[in-house]
Amino acid sequence: MIGIYGGTFDPIHNGHLHVIKQLLQSHRVDRIIVIPAGEPQLREKPIASSSDRLEMCKIAVDSLTAVRDRVEVSSIEVERDRPSYAIETVEALLKSHPGKEFAWIIGSDAFRRIDQWHESERLRELISFIVIERPESGAGEGSENDFNNDSDIDFDDVFNDVDGEEIDALQISATEIRKLLHSRQSVSDMVPPPVLSYIESKGLYGSA
């Protein structure tokens, strides 16, 4: 099973890396492909450029020691000069990796909006999902019971599917990191040191 970890990664942080390490160390997936999004459809445009976000992902993955050789960073989405849809990425990966099975690794906050994704039904037919329950991912959110019931997705099913794969997600978000950097506060316990050096050297997120 190959895990696809898509996201804005603006910036990539220890919460993401924690998920990657746990899924690989528990052998829930054999490999993980980290895919920073080019132009996300369902949220505001990223602050950092595609190339900076891609670079930070590469630097962060290089900092993973034990599992480093089982993780790759793909530029497939940032190279697209048009909106980036997960379904296209999945179709491209299925084509380039014949016979392989894929699972999309996703936080519960993002999974809550899955039915808004382009061709989400077909996406769910093509791959499985590994949903990571995020603590305090928003006021009153964070529990599977809070999922939007207007959706035709049976969230219980999906959660049952990942039962036994308890990932204790870290309470870190890129939004918080950007805010702290903007107000010149320390984020050294939230991003790996080489990523922080990159952010500071480029003055990203108002850190200059």
Q: How far is the CB of 41 from ligand ATP (least distance, A)?
A: 13
Query: What span, in angstroms and rounded, lies between the C-alpha atoms of 83 and 100?
Result: 26
96 belongs to the binding site for ligand ATP (CB under 6 A) = no
Stretch that binds ligand ATP, among 79-87, 121-129, 154-162, 170-178 (CB under 6 A): 170-178
Query: What span, in angstroms and rounded, lies between the C-alpha atoms of 204 and 177?
Result: 11
16 belongs to the binding site for ligand ATP (CB under 6 A) = yes
> What are 171's two structure tokens?
């309470």
Of the pair 64, 170, the CB lying nearest ligand ATP is at 170
Position of tokens 């506060």?
185
- The number of residues that bind ligand ATP (CB under 6 A) is 19
Q: How far is the CB of 168 from ligand ATP (least distance, A)?
A: 9
170 belongs to the binding site for ligand ATP (CB under 6 A) = yes
67 belongs to the binding site for ligand ATP (CB under 6 A) = no
Of 58, 60, 72, residue with least CA distance to 29: 72
Which one of 15, 38, 142, 192 is in contact with ligand ATP (CB under 6 A)? 15
Which one of 107, 155, 190, 199 is in contact with ligand ATP (CB under 6 A)? 107
Query: What span, in angstroms and rounded, lies between the C-alpha atoms of 191 and 119?
Result: 33
Q: What is the number of alpha carbons within 13 Å of residue 193 lying toward its C-beta?
A: 0
Q: Of all residues in the chain, what percent are helix, strand and coil, respectively (each to 5)? A: 40, 10, 45
109 belongs to the binding site for ligand ATP (CB under 6 A) = yes
Compute CA 177 distance to the chain's CA centroid, rounded to the nearest angstrom.
Answer: 15
Site residues (CB under 6 A) for ligand ATP? 7-10, 15-16, 19, 106-107, 109-110, 132, 134, 169-170, 172-175
